Structure 1
């Protein structure tokens, strides 16, 4: 009886000691995150110092090199791991000025991979595609674009977002503006369809006919924000104008006032460039060949500086690594972070890592990914892993309630098919989870827009996410055994029949060179 008593007492003391040690590390994580945050410094260096990170651009390479050096200053080994090649392109200046019927500098920029203007730029009349009978009529009209700029987007009747109309307008006004815009969009789409060309081939046909440039406007439905994607022209520049500057030119051309602009869009093709993932690690002390991973894509489109897509995810994961290296320098398992290249063109960097490291996939305990904006983590799905609630729930219980109280969970959930880099690992059977954030008008205001800049970062929310992610990584490292990988095969919501688990897909390792 006495032996049993002493055994029980020893076990209790051991458990108490373990809990106390856990609490000390967690308290240290919270204190370091709150009192010595480096998020603003990292954001400044990345968004202001490096800038946008289009795959294949000098800024993308500069970002990879900066991250490696930054990790090294914290005593964290890091490397750039090549996985492919991409069309190299460097953005230069974009100056757009209306010269007639009066003078005004216009707000706009060239699209990614846009060809350059001749040195000094080109002056030309702005025209719109007329409403012609059919593709034969379009071909007959086509030679008239020689020496001119051609507008190919539908104009907008209002630059006010829906929420602004809903706040101030009458119900009748709202219904009317929506109906009028829908009709305008439909009529414009019909006009383009009658050219016989799709949206990719139309600009190339116009440049072949002698147009000196293509003008677009892709409004994101937020004040001042336009989506900035890529050009399909091969010889002449494609530029995106702000909603109202585009609308003004459109109205002037439509009313026969023959507006003229001077466009100087400089850029440079830099040949085939290597593409990388940046990988950093804190080596495990007891199980170095088992891994807990952090994940965020490093690249961006280049309308803004990629602040919320995905600068905030990037600095979050860097901050978590910094904190853990300081307060938990000898983790039981190896902590890895992947800063992926070319997520925006199809999860290419993360898919390459999965394909190039098959031996690691069964040894990854869990992966935490962050991508979609600057807000506090608001959603967590079990991604179809049957027992995900058991371990994620236990780990989240160690995070301050003030951080987790508003997080909505879905267990076991369904596997993600491709929204962000976690899906590359889910397809390989890795328990990989996306730390999905509050919107902060992400889809309209900053996602792939010219407004995705430093000033949109909500640092208090990112700091909260750093505490959450750091504690979750710590708990995953301390977990005695590897977590369950049992899967629930998802159902087709329409038929109720079982579907298949996502399968790994190969990356595009030679991009933009078609």
Structure 2
């Protein structure tokens, strides 16, 4: 997912109304919703399906065999619950399969290096043994061009060296005010200097790896440290012929210092992976047909794909398992649903909402008749914010739906109405752009942005299952309440305010998906 959600946009607009969900000491739940609560609290399948998905299959990078395996597993699981399920292909992507990666320092001493091959990285045909060179700070493009021939045959450290490896919060908690101020100023100065150095080369962090490759580098290494000890973000390689790696902040700093001080370390890099041409991209759809209004829809939304630095547990394994638990519970306890209920597990969200955009483009008849889309995609926390997404009457129906959910779930939730449409932070935005009431069920942070979002620490053990149970109860309650509406809810859009540039803001446009990996 992208880390910008619709909440961010809502917070910018003073016209949004903030509302605390009602809390009562005594609440008489609808009997069906009460059954939902009991089932999810006392017969939860969340840990089972999380184990099967995250431990058994692992991360779900678009184009990888694991993405196909995950879809097959989900379809089989849905069908075991008596729910129809299918795969819908919408395009192709470069097919890549991760293999084992070993990086070892052989000089000036021997040490295993904590490193990860970036997604879609070229493999080493045989182990690469090479000296390490650190990219310095450049004052001009001429200085960069004079340095460039030195990379030939070398493993190039391309990222800024982080001279302070402790998290900011530790300096703030344990250091003196003077130390904290000094560290903060030092970091800013170092970051500014490095940013300017990249700028004067005439390239960017995305284009520099290719320049190094073209000038004969043996491999490129970066360290995308989050600022939290041990956590690095793992994205895609920018090279086409040589391996590109991410090295932990601790090991990267050691290699950088050695190279910078003239003791050029040597590494052996063995990065195995397979490029298998192209493969199909797909969404995985589960469906419970409506009994009275089968051509009207309620959609439970979560993206299925992930980056593959870890298991993709909180981005977005948690959203996936919550929506699967929700539909399992609904199928078991709500046999007479009026409208068709879909669970849509999207592909290639991480590359630009491609799966949900393809669905919107390919299914205009569903889009036209969708009551609401409920989307989960931001970590392991309980839902604490719901934005009206810019629909004028969202206050009316969303507060009515929330009133039907248990108070111990809704008491944490703040709502903002009418809110404003998100610009593309997660898959609900694909529907909002098309005029469908789509709602991001935004969760409590739990360190998501700095610790697990797209990092090597996004693992099963970071899931707080009690919070996910709460979200499944909420989602099931919202589906039931939305299904009980006699008619499709009003879709009138608010008039958006002027932006910071003084111009009238406009509703987001429907965007076509990227259906191939060409140019990515």
- Larger RCO (CA within 8 A; separation ≥ 6): 2
Equivalent residue, structure 2, for 1:324: 330
Provide Cα deviations, 1:109-167, integer angstroms capped at 9, x if missing partner: 01111111123x11111001244553344334322222110011001122221211111
Equivalent residue, structure 2, for 1:198: 204
- Asked if 1:115 is matched to 2:122, the reply is yes
- Asked if 1:249 is matched to 2:250, the reply is no
Is contact 2:100-2:271 (8 Å) kept?
A: yes
- Asked if 1:98 is matched to 2:105, the reply is yes
Equivalent residue, structure 2, for 1:307: 313
Give the Å deviation of 1:270: 1.0
Give the Å deviation of 1:495: 5.8
Q: Secondary structure at the match of 1:220?
A: coil
Which residue, 349, 359, 368 being the options, matches 1:353?
359
Provide the C-alpha distance between the structure 1 equivalents of 2:405 and 2:28, rounded to a whole number of angstroms.
Answer: 15
Provide the C-alpha distance between the structure 2 equivalents of 1:451 and 1:156, rounded to a whole number of angstroms.
Answer: 19
Equivalent residue, structure 1, for 2:442: 436
Question: Within 5 Å, which residues of 2 pair with 1:195-344?
Answer: 195-344=201-350
Structure 1: where are the runs of 5+ without partners? 1-19
Q: Secondary structure at the match of 1:488?
A: coil
Question: Within 5 Å, which residues of 2 pair with 1:117-136?
Answer: 117-119=124-126, 121-132=127-138, 134-136=140-142
Equivalent residue, structure 2, for 1:12: none
Q: Secondary structure at the match of 1:288?
A: strand
- Asked if 1:468 is matched to 2:480, the reply is no
Compute the TM-score of the two structures, normalised by the length of structure 1.
Answer: 0.94
Is contact 1:365-1:483 (8 Å) kept?
A: yes
Please say which structure displays the higher CA radius of gyration. 1
Provide the C-alpha distance between the structure 2 equivalents of 1:272 and 1:438, rounded to a whole number of angstroms.
Answer: 38
Q: Secondary structure at the match of 1:124?
A: strand
Provide the C-alpha distance between the structure 2 equivalents of 1:434 and 1:79, rounded to a whole number of angstroms.
Answer: 24
Equivalent residue, structure 2, for 1:43: 50
Structure 1 runs of 4+ aligned residues shifted over 4 Å read none
The two structures, once aligned, show a CA RMSD in angstroms of 1.5
Q: Secondary structure at the match of 2:510?
A: coil
Is contact 2:382-2:468 (8 Å) kept?
A: yes
Provide the C-alpha distance between the structure 2 equivalents of 1:133 and 1:347, rounded to a whole number of angstroms.
Answer: 39
Provide the C-alpha distance between the structure 2 equivalents of 1:365 and 1:198, rounded to a whole number of angstroms.
Answer: 44
- Asked if 1:422 is matched to 2:428, the reply is yes
Give the Å deviation of 1:329: 2.0
Equivalent residue, structure 2, for 1:11: none
Equivalent residue, structure 1, for 2:377: 371
Provide the C-alpha distance between the structure 1 equivalents of 2:501 and 2:279, rounded to a whole number of angstroms.
Answer: 46
Equivalent residue, structure 2, for 1:64: 71
Equivalent residue, structure 1, for 2:83: 76
Compute the TM-score of the two structures, normalised by the length of structure 2.
Answer: 0.93
- Asked if 1:162 is matched to 2:149, the reply is no
Question: Within 5 Å, which residues of 2 pair with 1:382-401?
Answer: 382-401=388-407
Q: Secondary structure at the match of 1:344?
A: helix
Which residue, 89, 92, 100 being the options, matches 1:85?
92
Is contact 1:282-1:329 (8 Å) kept?
A: no
Is contact 1:134-1:196 (8 Å) kept?
A: no
Q: Give the number of equivalent residue pairs.
A: 494
Provide Cα deviations, 1:352-410, integer angstroms capped at 9, x if missing partner: 00000112212001110000000000100001111111111111111111111111110
Provide the C-alpha distance between the structure 2 equivalents of 1:64 and 1:468, rounded to a whole number of angstroms.
Answer: 25
Give the Å deviation of 1:513: 5.3
Equivalent residue, structure 2, for 1:404: 410
Provide the C-alpha distance between the structure 2 equivalents of 1:131 and 1:402, rounded to a whole number of angstroms.
Answer: 54
Equivalent residue, structure 2, for 1:9: none
174-183 or 494-503: bigger deviation: 494-503
Is contact 1:308-1:457 (8 Å) kept?
A: yes
Is contact 1:415-1:490 (8 Å) kept?
A: no
Is contact 1:369-1:421 (8 Å) kept?
A: yes
Is contact 1:489-1:498 (8 Å) kept?
A: no
Give the Å deviation of 1:100: 1.0
Provide the C-alpha distance between the structure 1 equivalents of 2:383 and 2:212, rounded to a whole number of angstroms.
Answer: 46
Q: Secondary structure at the match of 2:30?
A: helix
User: Structure 1 residues 215, 335: closer, same or farther in 2, change over 3 A?
Assistant: same
Q: Secondary structure at the match of 1:339?
A: strand
Q: Secondary structure at the match of 1:33?
A: helix
Provide the C-alpha distance between the structure 2 equivalents of 1:197 and 1:384, rounded to a whole number of angstroms.
Answer: 39
350-359 or 195-204: bigger deviation: 195-204
Is contact 2:391-2:491 (8 Å) kept?
A: yes
Provide Cα deviations, 1:430-459, integer angstroms capped at 9, x if missing partner: 011010000001000000000000000000
Give the Å deviation of 1:182: 1.6
Give the Å deviation of 1:288: 0.6
User: Structure 1 residues 104, 333: closer, same or farther in 2, change over 3 A?
Assistant: same
